[in-house]
Structure 1
Amino acid sequence: MTTDKNQTVPPEVGSPAPLPVANEASATEQPAAFPAHLDGLADRARGYVEAASSANTRRAYASDWKHFSAWCRRQSLSLLPPEPQIVGLYVTACASGAVGGDRKPNSVSTIERRLSSLTWNYAQRGQPLDRKDRHIATVMAGIRNSHARPPVQKEAVMPEDIIAMLETLDRGTLRGLRDRAMLLIGFAGGLRRSEIVGLDVKKDQTEDGRGWIEILEKGLIVTLRGKTGWREVEIGRGSSDATCPVTALDTWLSLARIAHGPVFRRVTGQGKAVGADRLNDQEVARLVKRAALAAGVRGDLTEGERALKFSGHSLRAGLASSAEVDERYVQKQLGHTSAEMTRKYQRRRDRFRVNLTKAAGL
């Protein structure tokens, strides 16, 4: 295990070349520079690298690498080459709350994500990290056995909750009309928050768009580039204009005079002016939380408990939990590759539907 107090920490993710440490004996040899006429291809290659993962994933990987780098620097340990023993000590520190700046031990899911981030970052530097090495695998097995907790899931907002949430929005402002459309489209489509704000009016209208819409007589077709590739989502018209996602979207686009570019944008000027910028996906989470609290959803809980219950995922979970149809249709709508993943979103929907106690004769 090599140490070097004066080591230069590699920069953030995204560098295509291996990165050296200050210690010349362990420095990684830099590859020869590309000819100038290949600069365009190199730029495009970097663009494809970015397109391979979402912006949220890249931010998380960069943050975790920075976290690990800072820990190594404080311990006078070298980042390169990857040492399983060092990584094993790092995840142990994360589990015990012994990493500077962390006030309490990291959860198992956070440690798993940090380990995935390190694996990805080392791979980008051409120096793979072996996660199956005993110094990592055995420590992680012990961490899971000692600290694992049941997964904390966000509350599913059911149809009656959505209706109550819609009533808290101002129909007289563009912001209220936009928020109604986002809630209804997100719920009926079972969309992720990044998919909601990533929609464009038509195909190939923006560089950062992740899909587009097509309003038809019987409903809405949403074409999405999601985690599992391209997929089409059908959103049918509702039984009432007041709760119809297609009507809400059409109203928003018409009154906001949006015919090109991002569907959901910032609204300024006391809710009367529409900007050109696409909404951040965090706005969806804030909207769901704000509307759910205003509508009194889960009023049996304290204010603090309720604030932790809702997020953008509440919309996807709500559709999965309330749609009384064959599970495979829900799986297709949510874009899941397995039925098991879909069942994780179906909060209590199928509990006791099959009673094995009675079926066994008791």
Structure 2
Amino acid sequence: MDVAGPVNRPHRDTDPSVIVADDSLTATEARYVTAARAANTMRGYRSDWAEFTTWCTTTNTASLPAEAAAITGYLTTLAERGAKVGTMSRRLSAIKFAHTVHDLPDPTTNARVLAVWEGIRRTHTTPPEQATPLMPPLLFDVLDACPVTRTWTAPGRPAEPDLAGLRDRALLLVGFVTALRRSELAALDVAHLSDHPNGLVLSIARSKTNQTGEHAELVVAPHGTHPARSPVAALQAWMAAADITDGPVFRPVSKGNRPLPRRLHPESINTLVQNAIARAGIDPRPYSAHSLRAGFVTHAHLRGASDRAIAHQTRHRSLATIGTYVRIHQAWDDNAATQLGL
């Protein structure tokens, strides 16, 4: 394997997961190699690696193998351009991964890289941006704004239940009550749903914290006390109207008000949540699909749930992480500033 000088082979520059000796892999081995990393992780690696190799091309610098000076120069450029520390950390991970799968030494552990990186972190680290929680009563306004009926200008076609509106109501309520990540909502299949006297039990085969699927993670969706706000009722209404009996639960809806057989992309879920918020006359920019998960944590805390009970549903491994969602509301708890009588 040639490791000297700049490497500009297109397949390496566009995909860090390609193994040099991949021609020797059997079809089964190649399939397992593809499955070695989550799809979202690989998409991130490809995007970040492409950014690095583009910078290397413009500076006439080798990307694979990369010298320590190239990496520190790249990091410095990013920092001067105002890139976030989290973004730069992801780029380093992609560089490390590309070298690992090509059996090359990891250049990110070089003393020069470590020193520059530590300085950047100390200089540029800022508190992470948190998604604005979407929770009652605002959540109820967003639900009420979901369209119910689809009417047509073509003569002879009667009004129909608006499938996109039914899907969005189910997506919002299930996403809020189960605190699922958008990737988990997108991956949800009918086979993952189990009936229970209290509602539904959802089996999450893989997640951010359980990527190998060694054990299924369980979350619950209670019936709820208000039928119009029941995640179970909303999900059943959507699946019945769309005639979904197997396969993906959440799907795109065509312009002709017909469900499509494929699952929603995680980024599409983000867009759907923002569109639903905009329909309620609310600025959607502070919100994302993660606002449902953040809304669950914050609302449950305000309702008196313990951090341990919240983590039981969100599947957070660290209870300290729960506090990052509710710290703004906790700042008012038992605070003498509220007792000054001013």
- TM-score band, normalised by shorter chain: 0.7 to 0.9
Q: Give the aligned partner of residue 57 of structure 2.
A: 73
Q: CA deviation at 1:169?
A: 0.5
Instruction: Select the residue among 33, 40, 44 that pairs with 1:46.
Output: 33
Q: Give the aligned partner of residue 303 of structure 1.
A: none
Q: Deviations over 1:196-243 (max 9, x none)?
A: 1211111xxxxxxxxx11232311101112111231001111111100
The residue identity in structure 1 corresponding to 2:63 is L
Answer whether contact 1:322 1:349 (CA < 8 A) is retained.
no
* 3-state SS of paired residue (2:252): strand
Q: Distance in 2 between matches of 1:161 and 1:357?
A: 28
User: What's the TM-score, normalizing by structure 1?
Assistant: 0.80
Q: Give the aligned partner of residue 284 of structure 1.
A: 269
Q: Give the aligned partner of residue 110 of structure 1.
A: 87
Q: Distance in 1 between matches of 2:178 and 2:259?
A: 24
Q: Give the aligned partner of residue 22 of structure 1.
A: none
Q: CA deviation at 1:279?
A: 1.0
The residue identity in structure 2 corresponding to 1:227 is K
Q: Give the aligned partner of residue 262 of structure 1.
A: 248
Q: Distance in 1 between matches of 2:62 and 2:6?
A: 8
Q: Distance in 2 between matches of 1:140 and 1:318?
A: 34
Q: Unpaired segments of 5 or more residues in structure 1?
A: 18-29, 98-104, 203-211, 298-305
Q: Distance in 2 between matches of 1:198 and 1:259?
A: 15
Q: 1:268 to 1:86 in 2, by over 3 A?
A: same
Q: Give the aligned partner of residue 132 of structure 2.
A: 155
| Residue 77 of structure 2 is aligned to residue 96 of structure 1 | no
Q: CA deviation at 1:296?
A: 3.8
| Residue 329 of structure 2 is aligned to residue 328 of structure 1 | no
Q: Distance in 1 between matches of 2:334 and 2:110?
A: 43
Q: 1:276 to 1:68 in 2, by over 3 A?
A: same
Q: Give the aligned partner of residue 191 of structure 1.
A: 180
Write the mapping of 1:119-138 to structure 2, written as runs, cut at 5 A. 119-138=96-115
Q: 1:4 to 1:293 in 2, by over 3 A?
A: same
Task: Count residues in correspondence.
Answer: 314
| Residue 287 of structure 2 is aligned to residue 313 of structure 1 | no
The residue identity in structure 1 corresponding to 2:166 is L
Q: Distance in 2 between matches of 1:162 and 1:353?
A: 24
Q: Distance in 1 between matches of 2:239 and 2:187?
A: 15
Answer whether contact 2:297 2:322 (CA < 8 A) is retained.
yes
Q: CA deviation at 1:86?
A: 1.6
Q: CA deviation at 1:108?
A: 1.7
Q: CA deviation at 1:128?
A: 3.6
* 3-state SS of paired residue (1:235): strand
Q: 1:44 to 1:123 in 2, by over 3 A?
A: same
| Residue 208 of structure 2 is aligned to residue 227 of structure 1 | yes
User: Which protein has the bigger helix share?
Assistant: 2
Q: Distance in 1 between matches of 2:134 and 2:327?
A: 10
Q: Give the aligned partner of residue 87 of structure 1.
A: 71
Write the mapping of 1:239-254 to structure 2, written as runs, cut at 5 A. 239-254=225-240
Q: Deviations over 1:156-179 (max 9, x none)?
A: 011211110011111221111111
Q: Distance in 2 between matches of 1:264 and 1:351?
A: 37
The residue identity in structure 2 corresponding to 1:183 is L
Q: 1:257 to 1:7 in 2, by over 3 A?
A: closer
Q: Deviations over 1:48-79 (max 9, x none)?
A: 32xx32x2221111011111112112222222
Q: Unpaired segments of 5 or more residues in structure 2?
A: 150-161, 211-215
The residue identity in structure 2 corresponding to 1:180 is R
* 3-state SS of paired residue (1:259): coil
* 3-state SS of paired residue (1:223): strand
The residue identity in structure 1 corresponding to 2:130 is Q
Q: 1:69 to 1:57 in 2, by over 3 A?
A: same
Answer whether contact 1:4 1:76 (CA < 8 A) is retained.
no
